Structure 1
């Protein structure tokens, strides 16, 4: 997999949130032109994009802000059992520290931090703009 894409209203807020999670900004660009519309099926489009990369350099998150055409629907408040995109899960070294740091950016726990057997501590959070993410800490790997 090359990347996962998320459409946002504020590229700056989303970059800040995912930077706090440990991703690094790889670059920002404006995408427009006939070729781009042929790829997405949207026709003429003008999009600001920020590419974030995970600390290991193996995975990317593409954050997009559509200037044109306007956004047609909003799935950000859908519950975790809604059809379609659910969430992206991130491995963290210290889930309690990560929850605290993301909470300072306005993120909220969906439920609570729970332990799965003797393997993981897990939680879901709604971050900037209601984006749903999961956090997983391997037990014994702080």
Structure 2
């Protein structure tokens, strides 16, 4: 058996509209949105009395980010919203971009916080930004 591809990443959110807006501004597209509920959904994910709204976002090359807003049961937060990048667990999503400075400026105008930036030799410019609900997004611009 061979792994074919990564299909999507799940991000559980409290403010679905803010997160959709953030990813739309970054350049993803909204593929679709729906509400799911019922015993079959609960059985699949190991929860009872599930009701959630899902928004599927896609990168220009077709990679998926699924944003889920749980109505029942309530989502559970472990740790602070602005957890540092060395916190255990999935900590960031990174995207390849053109014109990194323009992307950072656009995202800051949209409310993102610049965590830091650097240039790695003559190969890449990198930046980390923090968006709604503390999500960390890495940006990488290839220089050559």
Short-chain TM bin? over 0.9
Matching residue of 2:93: 88
C-alpha displacement of 1:11: 1.1
Give 3-state SS (helix, strand or coil) of 2:102's partner.
helix
Distance, in Å, in 2 between the alignment partners of 1:41 and 1:107 is: 33
Report whether the alignment pairs 1:135 with 2:139.
Answer: yes
Gaps of at least 5 residues in structure 2 are 1-5
Report whether the alignment pairs 1:7 with 2:15.
Answer: no
C-alpha displacement of 1:12: 1.1
Root-mean-square deviation (Å)? 1.1
Q: TM-score, normalised by structure 1?
A: 0.93
C-alpha displacement of 1:74: 3.9
C-alpha displacement of 1:82: 0.9
- Aligned partner of 1:114 among 118, 131, 140: 118
Deviations 1:116-140 (A, max 9, x none): 1111100111011211110001114
Distance, in Å, in 1 between the alignment partners of 2:112 and 2:78 is: 18
Distance, in Å, in 2 between the alignment partners of 1:73 and 1:21 is: 25
Distance, in Å, in 2 between the alignment partners of 1:17 and 1:106 is: 9
Gaps of at least 5 residues in structure 1 are none
Distance, in Å, in 2 between the alignment partners of 1:108 and 1:77 is: 11
Distance, in Å, in 2 between the alignment partners of 1:16 and 1:22 is: 10
Alignment of 1:1-142 (within 5 A): 1-57=6-62, 59-75=63-79, 76-111=81-116, 113-140=117-144
